[in-house]
Structure 1
Amino acid sequence: MNQIRRPLDVAILEALAYSDIFDYPLSLDELHRYLPVPASRADLAPALANLRGRVAERDGYYFLSNRDEIVDIRQARAAASAKPFARAMQIGRILGRLPFVRMVGLTGSLATLNLSKNPDLDFMLVASRERVWTARALSLLVGRWARLLGNTLCPNLIISETALEWPLRDLYSARELCQMIPVAGMDVYHRLRVANSWTSEFLPNAIEPPVIVLPEVALLEVSQTSEVWGARLLRGKLGDRLELWEMNRKVARLSSQPGFGEETVFNAEVCQGNFHHHRKWTREAYEERLADLGIVELNSFLIQPSLTSRHCERLLRSNPLHSQQIASSGRAPSSQ
């Protein structure tokens, strides 16, 4: 997609409208980061001045006018998120030591210190080739331990290191990827960002990983012994058979859950269990806010075709449960 250069004031309204969905006012740095057009920080001051009456500021946060209560909401949620965030960093580091886990990223509301209810720890994992479901099973064992500490671990997205490129390109995916906090496997994280450089079409200023300002987290020392021995035991034909067995039984179970559909993907390279259709309701809420602002936006949430025919055929072959659905909708399954 060619970058559509819109007036900066409209771009500011769009960025604030998206964050307003989550009651999340933006600092000046965050506003710059999530603008849908290229701009410098110096460009923001005159544009914000032009938007007086439509955009307000309080305590260093910017938001749509008549929504100043979300500043209090963000500050309260940030305070409530500090302890779960520290716990997530510790657990994420443990996940990063599991056999076949190449990268761990913290996602969801906790990645932005914006917990609104239960402190679920949402993670994205990148797994070794042909070990997505083994990595998932091992991460769920860590989840049982985390539950004893009062946390619910949710590895909502696990992908193979051979499938780093997002199959669906839209604003939702771009925001999720650019907001993710890398916890372990920085080399693979950088490969992930390079493979998805298309995010710059939606968020051209969000190049570097996000910065979270918190007191330093005391990380647990994690032994590499289990990682090494586990990988040795589960390599080869035995590991291949266990991987296939785990995938087949879990796909059968997960595909029968309520909410299975467009935003769920289960195959040899991807395990994505978004049963709550976050993309759909986010898009609807975003379009509603843009309409209230008098903005007719045709491209900010546009689904972009990103699959070559060969890649699409490979996904369909590995995920027959989606073949009929994709063929009828003309779209690839969502990846966030």
Structure 2
Amino acid sequence: MLDVSPENLLRSVFHTLAYADVFDYPLTAPEVYRYLTSIQASVEEVNQVLADETLFSRVDEYFTLRGREQIVETRKRRTEIAHRMWTKAARYGRIIARLPFVRMVAVTGSLAMNNTDEGKDVDYMIVTAPDRLWTCRALVLLVARFAKLEGVNLCPNYLVTTRAMELQEHSLYIAHELAQMIPLSGMEIYSEMRRLNGWMSDYLPNALMVPEMPHGLKRAGKHSRIQRILEVPLRLRVANRLEQWEMKRKMERLTREQSSSYESYFSADVCKGHIDRHGENVVTALAVRLATVSASHQPVERTP
């Protein structure tokens, strides 16, 4: 057993459930343990807190804040939708993984947690070779156009090169995104990225294991021979000029379109487009829920 005070552990469990509640997402006991905020507790300690039914609501295997039991049905419905989306998300992820200079592809966002709705985007985080991020992005967007014809909305909203895998923003939201993302290819790069972002353990100290591929799907293999062959002409000097041209024109346009969002950032090594300020909205919604928990979600006495 770890040396964790009961008060701090209880506060952390509430915080963990409140964060998930922002996404209308009840948690199982193993998920509460994995995403326990800021405290490294044992499975037994977490289960002991969850066993007190005066503090939380439990529906089947799921735990919620009191009064939020209806989100269990929301999660079940979204899980069914995610199940239908995953096959295509994995297939297109494997296609992207075979593009020149792509070194890692991971599913992020709502689909990574099986918490998506009809018509939602498939979000990817992509790691590329240095000096070819914007070339890669153009190729990925070409794949996205073909996917659109099949009714699949691909959103490669976060690309970094292998020089920029140590993320500059340290927050609970970013820690969750890293811990939840499901790598489809480039496991060595994924492991290195987790190592470089060791600060995650300050927020999610139990989220150490690599998430499994859902529904029996397989990860992509290592770089193919065709991929290596395609990279040869794209290393020529003319390809350098093409990269600079694509970077300049896209950075100008994206910066103009997303100038109001501090979450967006564009450079030779990073293309981070978050026009809806999602991270900021999550922080605000979490603060509201924590205030509600503090005011009204206190332990209640059992009736004799």
**TM-score over 0.5 (shorter chain):** yes
The match for 2:300 is none
Deviation at 1:40, TM superposition (A): 1.1
The match for 2:235 is 235
The match for 2:150 is 149
| Distance (Å, rounded) in 2 between the aligned partners of 1:281 and 1:233 | 43
Deviation at 1:58, TM superposition (A): 1.2
The match for 2:21 is 20
One-letter identity of the residue aligned with 2:59:
R
Deviation at 1:217, TM superposition (A): 3.1
1:155-214 Cα deviation digits (max 9, x unpaired)? 000001011101010101100110000000000000000000110000000011223542
Deviation at 1:268, TM superposition (A): 0.5
Distance 1:168 1:222, change over 3 A: closer
The match for 1:279 is 279
| Distance (Å, rounded) in 1 between the aligned partners of 2:48 and 2:128 | 46
Distance 1:267 1:233, change over 3 A: same
Q: CA RMSD in A?
A: 2.2
Q: Identity, % of aligned pairs?
A: 38
Runs of at least 5 residues in structure 1 that lack an aligned partner in the other structure: 296-336
Deviation at 1:109, TM superposition (A): 0.4
In 1, are the aligned partners of 2:59 and 2:69 still within 8 Å (CA)?
yes
Alignment of 1:91-110 (within 5 A): 91-110=92-111
| Distance (Å, rounded) in 1 between the aligned partners of 2:51 and 2:5 | 23
Distance 1:258 1:268, change over 3 A: closer
In 1, are the aligned partners of 2:127 and 2:159 still within 8 Å (CA)?
yes
1:295-332 Cα deviation digits (max 9, x unpaired)? 8xxxxxxxxxxxxxxxxxxxxxxxxxxxxxxxxxxxxx
In 2, are the aligned partners of 1:17 and 1:64 still within 8 Å (CA)?
yes
Deviation at 1:119, TM superposition (A): 3.1
1:210 lines up with 2:211 in the alignment = yes
SS in 2 for 1:194: helix
The match for 1:62 is 63
Distance 1:212 1:78, change over 3 A: farther
The match for 2:115 is 114
Question: After alignment, is 257-266 or 109-118 more displaced?
Answer: 257-266
1:264 lines up with 2:264 in the alignment = yes
| Distance (Å, rounded) in 2 between the aligned partners of 1:132 and 1:4 | 46
The match for 2:291 is 291
| Distance (Å, rounded) in 1 between the aligned partners of 2:57 and 2:244 | 54
Distance 1:212 1:286, change over 3 A: farther
Distance 1:259 1:69, change over 3 A: farther
Distance 1:59 1:259, change over 3 A: farther
SS in 2 for 1:118: coil
Deviation at 1:54, TM superposition (A): 3.0
One-letter identity of the residue aligned with 1:238:
V
In 1, are the aligned partners of 2:184 and 2:220 still within 8 Å (CA)?
no
1:201 lines up with 2:202 in the alignment = yes
The match for 1:39 is 41
SS in 2 for 1:106: strand
Deviation at 1:22, TM superposition (A): 0.5
| Distance (Å, rounded) in 1 between the aligned partners of 2:229 and 2:120 | 32
Runs of at least 5 residues in structure 2 that lack an aligned partner in the other structure: 296-304
Distance 1:90 1:58, change over 3 A: same
Distance 1:56 1:291, change over 3 A: same
| Distance (Å, rounded) in 1 between the aligned partners of 2:135 and 2:63 | 44
Question: After alignment, is 131-140 or 225-234 more displaced?
Answer: 225-234
In 2, are the aligned partners of 1:106 and 1:121 still within 8 Å (CA)?
yes
| Distance (Å, rounded) in 2 between the aligned partners of 1:223 and 1:187 | 12
| Distance (Å, rounded) in 2 between the aligned partners of 1:220 and 1:284 | 37
Aligned residues: 291
| Distance (Å, rounded) in 1 between the aligned partners of 2:288 and 2:220 | 44
In 2, are the aligned partners of 1:24 and 1:71 still within 8 Å (CA)?
yes
| Distance (Å, rounded) in 2 between the aligned partners of 1:60 and 1:213 | 19
Deviation at 1:135, TM superposition (A): 0.9
| Distance (Å, rounded) in 2 between the aligned partners of 1:31 and 1:268 | 38
In 1, are the aligned partners of 2:158 and 2:272 still within 8 Å (CA)?
yes
Deviation at 1:53, TM superposition (A): 3.0
1:84 lines up with 2:119 in the alignment = no
| Distance (Å, rounded) in 2 between the aligned partners of 1:249 and 1:191 | 31
The match for 1:325 is none
One-letter identity of the residue aligned with 2:217:
V
